[in-house]
Amino acid sequence: MTETPAEQHRFIVEEDEAGQRLDRFLAARLPEISRSRLQSLIAEGRVRVNGTPATRPARKVAAGEKVALELPPPQPPELTPEDIPLDIAFEDEHLIVLNKPAGLVVHPAAGHAGGTLVNALLHHVEKTGGKLSGIGGVERPGIVHRLDKDTSGLLVIAKTEAAHKHLSEQFAAHGRDGRLHRAYLALAWGAPRLPTGAIDAPIGRHPKDRTRMAVRHHDESARAAITHYEVLETFLPGVERPAASLLRCTLETGRTHQIRVHLAHIGHPVMGDPLYARAHAASANRLPEEARAALAALNRQALHAAELGFVHPATGERMRFTAPPPQDFQRLLQALKEMSAT
């Protein structure tokens, strides 16, 4: 068996990063790796600065220095099937369509070795005598696409290699060839001036906060991103500006946090979003008590993957699924409706 090569990461220290500890610098550049793990890698001699091994995590970095990290391949995890309830909308021998609840991580990652959708799927197919596609690797069997942990909604899972390949091709085209359809519902702060529109703005890693994405017009590493929105309803229309709105969003591209980043970019971030709606925290003061309580109880971004359509990989049939938002989303929506009616 061919051994998986180590993963190489190379960075040049920017002026505003100079003076940081080496472990802090790497943690900011690689937020998916824990700082304690990075400290161990440094101690093992897997980090070089200007070609020389750097074994002290506290070493300060200087502007212009070249930092290289050799990340050894992870040991294949022993994934354990877990009896986690699944809301399955459709299933046959080729695929599963399910409605993911908010709070459920799709696949194992740092900090989430268990309790994921993959663990639940392994239990489900074990119980029913089936299997998942292996194309996604040990950690991501059957996973064709994903939703953020705190975004709810529809996902399709591949059970065969052929289904995985066919579905992946559809997602890669993002609906441009007419096969794939995805639409999300979002409760946003304020309301766009136009009832419909397209947000065409490239997305890349945030320059200061590596856990976030951002619109990056002059960053060559940023990737093209287009989101279409439609204002379905506005709330508190009796004042000069709506306090919030219900939007339907569709995607031409599939970038990380795309809807969340784009809506924040136009000044109407998703309500409850812990990363992109921080500047609108005071907006909750405009809401009546019941709506404020519903928003606090939501404790996540009010974003739901409500519609999913694709061509069945084996039969060629056009499949279309819808899923209503979960109760916490609907409680906030109802509170906003009642606020507007008073």
* 83 in active site: no
- My answer on whether 156 and 266 are in the same domain is no
Which pLDDT value is given to residue 19? 93
Domain count of the chain? 3
- My answer on whether 215 and 197 are in the same domain is yes
- My answer on whether 312 and 204 are in the same domain is yes
- The average pLDDT across 80-87 equals 95
Query: Does the pLDDT at position 318 exceed 60?
Result: yes
Query: Does the pLDDT at position 77 exceed 70?
Result: no
Residues 40-66: tens digit of each pLDDT: 899 989 999 999 999 999 999 999 999
Give the C-alpha separation, 197 to 103, whole Å: 30
- My answer on whether 221 and 298 are in the same domain is yes
- My answer on whether 221 and 268 are in the same domain is yes
Inside any domain, residue 83: no
Strands (E), 159-242: 181-189, 196-200, 203-205, 213-215, 226-235
Domain with 307 in it: what CATH number?
3.30.2350.10
Q: Which residue has the higher pLDDT, 6 or 319?
A: 319
Q: Which stretches within the chain are classed as H helix? A: 22-29, 35-43, 117-128, 161-173, 258-265, 289-298, 327-341
- pTM of the predicted model as reported, rounded to 2 decimal places: 0.78
Last residue of a domain, one of 43, 71, 99: 71
- My answer on whether 147 and 249 are in the same domain is no
CA angle 285/287/291 to nearest 5° reads 125
Inside any domain, residue 323: no
Catalytic residue among 83, 92, 148, 200: 148
- My answer on whether 196 and 304 are in the same domain is yes
On average, the pLDDT of the chain sits at 90
Inside any domain, residue 77: no
Inside any domain, residue 326: no
- The average pLDDT across 24-28 equals 89
End-to-end CA distance of the chain: 69
Which pLDDT value is given to residue 111? 65
Residues 172-219: tens digit of each pLDDT: 888 889 999 999 999 999 999 999 999 999 999 888 887 889 999 988
Residues 257-311: tens digit of each pLDDT: 999 999 999 999 999 999 999 989 888 988 999 999 999 999 999 999 999 999 9
Range of the domain at 210: 182-318+335-341
Residues 191-203: tens digit of each pLDDT: 999 999 999 999 9
- My answer on whether 268 and 211 are in the same domain is yes
Confidence category of residue 1, pLDDT binned at 50, 70, 90 = very low
- The average pLDDT across 23-40 equals 83
Inside any domain, residue 135: yes
- My answer on whether 197 and 314 are in the same domain is yes
- My answer on whether 20 and 47 are in the same domain is yes
Please report which helix (H) or strand (E) contains residue 306, including its range.
strand 303-311
Please report which helix (H) or strand (E) contains residue 321, including its range.
strand 318-322
Inside any domain, residue 325: no
Give the C-alpha separation, 86 to 162, whole Å: 24
Inside any domain, residue 79: no
160 contacts 233 by C-beta, under 8 angstroms: no
